[in-house]
Amino acid sequence: MATALLLAFAVTAGASGFAVYRIRSGDTLSSIAARYHTTVARLAALNHLPGNGNMIYAGAALRVPVPKPATPHWRTVTTTYTVRPGDSLYAIAARQHVDARVIARRNHLPHSLMVIIGQRLAIPHRVRVTAAPARVAGPYLSNRPAPSRDQMAAIIRSTARRWGVDTRLALAVGWQESGFNQRWISATHAVGAMQVEPYTGAFVSRYLVHRPLDLYNARDNATAGVALLSVLLRETHGNKAKAVAGYYQGLASVQSRGMFRDTKTYVANVLALRNRF
């Protein structure tokens, strides 16, 4: 969150590792250097400032370094699912939030994709094993229209009503994820206000809403996040804490490994935020 707040004042950001900061009244080079985790000397060199670099003016543009986000680490955790009466591979895949083709390959299922009652299936889950990386201002959204924070909140609220999800919980997740900022993209490419990963968006699109979703579109982004939250609430029998943990960590991982430390913090934050809406 801190990184995102700092970058909110940058006018542009590019692959070069630099952004343009618009100097405000009261700024000093040392305060800007501290904000961007660099030194006065480096800022002076980057901007060819004379002397010790203290001659800066409100409104002027200043090049500042933007650190690259840490590369996230992932691992595959395999759980076991026993096929029950009425199950199909696609129903199991939808509940486990894993592509049906992945399950089929992992278990060497026949071309018919038939599963048998009592059959034990290995379910591979891709889970993050480090704390969530800092979110950065996303270049993919910089030139696309996006709603204001108030407008995004209204979109999330109306979408939650449509899906039968507690509006306060959906808003709390949206605020915790991005502060209702549809322009944010995470280091793992999670998109927009609800911070939906592309592969999660593809799952929701195929199995839940049955239409293509554009995560860069505010209404589709809200639909993807709220629809996923709806499924998580159903799978946890309305347990908000577990559903929120599943949103962050993945429900299968929560059920098999418990909540990670950062997941517990995330859940506590969301449930506290829920009381503000």
DSSP letters spanning the chain: -HHHHHHTTEEEE-TTSEEEEE--TT--HHHHHHHTT--HHHHHHHTT-STTS----TT-EEEEE-PPPPPP-EEEEEEEEE--TT--HHHHHHHHTS-HHHHHHHTT--TT----TT-EEEEEEEEE-SPPPPEEE-GGGTTS----HHHHHHHHHHHHHHHT--HHHHHHHHHHHHSS-TTEEETT--BTTTTB-HHHHHHIIIIII-S---TTSHHHHHHHHHHHHHHHHHHTTT-HHHHHHHHHH-HHHHHHH---HHHHHHHHHHHHHHTT-
Note down pLDDT in tens along the chain; length 277 residues.
322 233 333 333 333 466 777 777 777 777 777 666 677 778 888 887 776 656 777 777 788 876 554 455 566 777 788 888 888 888 888 888 888 888 998 888 888 888 888 888 888 877 654 444 444 444 445 566 789 989 999 999 999 999 999 999 999 999 988 889 898 887 667 888 999 988 888 888 888 899 999 999 999 999 999 999 999 999 899 999 999 998 988 887 888 888 988 888 889 989 988 988 8
Q: Do 162 and 258 lie in a common domain?
A: yes
Domain boundary among 89, 110, 128: 128
Q: Do 140 and 261 lie in a common domain?
A: yes
Give the CATH number of the domain where residue 54 resides.
Answer: 3.10.350.10
Q: Is the dihedral of CA 235, 241, 246, 251 positive or negative?
A: negative
Q: Do 78 and 106 lie in a common domain?
A: yes
Q: Do 248 and 212 lie in a common domain?
A: yes
Q: Do 57 and 104 lie in a common domain?
A: no
Contact present, 123 and 173 (Cβ < 8 Å): no
CA distance 258 to 267: 13
Q: Quote the pTM value.
A: 0.53
CA distance 273 to 86: 39
The residue among 151, 201, 203, 212 whose CA lies nearest residue 180 is 151
Domain boundary among 12, 45, 65: 65
Q: Do 119 and 140 lie in a common domain?
A: no
CA distance 172 to 85: 37
Number of domains the chain is built from: 3
Q: Do 122 and 210 lie in a common domain?
A: no
The β-bridge partners of 120 are: 82
Q: Are strands 135-137 and 120-128 parallel, antiparallel or unpaired?
A: unpaired
Q: Do 255 and 148 lie in a common domain?
A: yes
Q: Note down the domain range covering 107.
A: 74-128
